[in-house]
A = this chain, B = another copy of it.
């Protein structure tokens, strides 16, 4: 049984590879027609998709999943329409493939053009959100890549229904259905087949919790782009506009605490801490944020109305290492910018970091010295997002330095080739 399913994945990988080869030369018009047909097929199949999704949600409820997890899993007519709207946005994006990135003359006057090409086959390994299935299919198709999808088992029925519709669209547009392949087996071992598929898969993008991402990075022989783990900070400098700092911290923590560009720790310069803390606590407790304070900040609050508040606790060392993804915020007082930089260097995950200050020199140092995908001066870390950056799409946020960093749009899903023209040149 197990052997059988692995064979089936190998077969799927071969079909996906063949599809990728064909898709690499598809015209922009053909890809857009396929996207259009995929969107139409999704709407035409919406009854079936929603029925299968209901079964997934019922199963999740039976398995005792939390309401918030079930909500992430659930599709509705409106959500499906919004997913299809996402496909239309991808249709409107420029096709990156074939772009001449630069051209120049080499030795012996050979003419060299550096041209954007697809990566080939991309594997996406993700968890329980069925919208990722469609988003990933649309972005990889537009960038000329075939995709092999491996979603979480909670969404398996929804995903099979969605992919069925997507493949129908591909077929109508004359593209191989394996431009979008989906692994139906839910055993965890199927992930490992992808991780070992060197030569068949060109890139793996894991999207999910730290456990999944670590498993992929530590076991893959295929290149991986790490996404999404964000232990992000706001540093409030002594020269900060404190009203601005308050608004930024509130936004970066509470506007959507479950996402990777939300902050987990605030660093406060010691000279403004005593003045700023009561206002900060008032705002955070109003928003029901649990605050975990360093010794100094905890002590400072003992002479205020917040002494004994159930929202306040003493921070442990481990709190500074944790991506809470929840309404929890750690606070630490630092004596100067260098100490803030050191804290971020030690605990940060190179995702998004912000300084609030009116001092241009300190801002410049922070922007230059913090090693992260996105570094902010006087703005919320919540802007680290392909749509907010104006990329028009996003397949994930890379926290590694190789290939792509930060929000990944269509160009980040491409490679390049050098095409060289000569008249018989040889190397002397």
Which 10 residue pairs are nearest across A and B when measured between Cβ atoms?
A379-B422, A251-B426, A401-B415, A382-B427, A244-B424, A403-B403, A223-B402, A107-B388, A374-B418, A379-B425
Extra A-B contacts (5), CB below 8 Å, given A378-B421, A389-B418? A25-B368, A110-B383, A198-B217, A203-B402, A379-B425
State how many residues of chain A have any CB contact under 8 Å with chain B: 71
Please tell me which one of the listed residues B247, B405, B427 contacts residue A426 in the complex, with CB atoms under 8 A apart: B247
The yes or no answer to A400 lying at the interface (CB within 8 A) is yes
Are B110 and A401 touching (Cβ within 8 A)? no
Residues of B within 8 A of A400 (CB): 223
Q: Does A372 contact B (CB under 8 A)?
A: yes
Beyond A202-B401, A374-B417, whether A247 also contacts B424 by CB under 8 A is: yes
Output the nearest chain B residue to A427 by Cβ-Cβ distance: B382
B378 touches A422 (CB 8 A): yes
What residue of chain B has the Cβ atom nearest to residue A202's Cβ?
B401
Query: Which chain A residues (364-408) contact chain B, with CB distance < 8 Å?
Result: 367-369, 371-380, 382-384, 387-390, 400-403, 405-406
- Which of A25, A106, A108, A420: most chain B CB closer than 10 A? A420
- Distance A387 CA – B378 CA, assembled complex (angstroms): 44
- A117 partner residues in chain B, CB cutoff 8 A: 371
Which chain B residue shows the least CB distance to A418?
Answer: B374
Which of A104, A372, A387, A417 is most buried by chain B, counting CB atoms within 10 A of its CB?
Answer: A417
- Let me know if A141 is at the binding interface, CB within 8 A: no
Across-interface contacts of A225 in B (CB, < 8 A): 402
A110 to B217, CA, bound (A): 33
A420 touching B375, Cβ below 8 Å: yes
Which residues of chain A in 197-252 are interfacial with respect to chain B, using CB atoms and an 8 Å cutoff?
198, 202-203, 217-218, 221, 223-225, 241, 244, 247-248, 250-252
- In A98-124, the 8 Å CB interface with B consists of 104-108, 110, 112, 117, 119-120
Report the Cα distance A387→B108, complex, angstroms. 12
Task: Tell me which of A110, A252, A374 has the highest count of chain B C-beta atoms within 10 A of its own C-beta.
Answer: A110
* Interchain CB contact under 8 A, B371 and A426: no
**Minimum distance in angstroms from A235 CB to a CB of chain B:** 14
- On whether A105 and B390 interact (CB within 8 A), knowing A426-B251, A427-B380, the answer reads yes
Whether A421 lies near B379 (C-beta < 8 A) is yes
CB < 8 Å: which of B24, B112, B371, B425 contacts A120? B371
Distance, CA A403 to CA B401, complexed state (A)? 9
Other-chain residue from B368, B384, B416 in contact with A405 (beta carbon distance below 8 A) = B416
* A375 CB contacts on chain B under 8 angstroms: 417-420
Residues of B within 8 A of A406 (CB): 417-418
A248 to B120, CA, bound (A): 30
Q: List the B side residues contacting A252 at CB < 8 Å.
A: 426
A406 to B106 Cα, complex, angstroms: 14
Fill in one digit per residue for A147-166: 1 if any B CB lies within 8 Å of its CB, else 0: 00000000000000000000
248-296 of chain A: CB within 8 A of chain B: 248, 250-252, 255
Instruction: State A272–B388 Cα separation when bound (angstroms).
Output: 58
Instruction: Say how far A28's CB is from chain B's closest CB, in angstroms.
Output: 14
| A21 at the binding interface (Cβ < 8 Å) | yes
A244 cross-chain contacts in B, Cβ below 8 A: 424
In contact, B374 and A427 (Cβ under 8 angstroms)? no
A423 at interface, CB cutoff 8 A: yes
Given A107-B388, A117-B371, A217-B198, the answer on whether A402 and B415 have CB atoms closer than 8 Å is: yes
- Contacting residue for A21 out of B107, B345, B388, B402, CB 8 A: B345
Q: Which residues of B contact A419 (CB under 8 A)?
A: 367-368, 375, 377
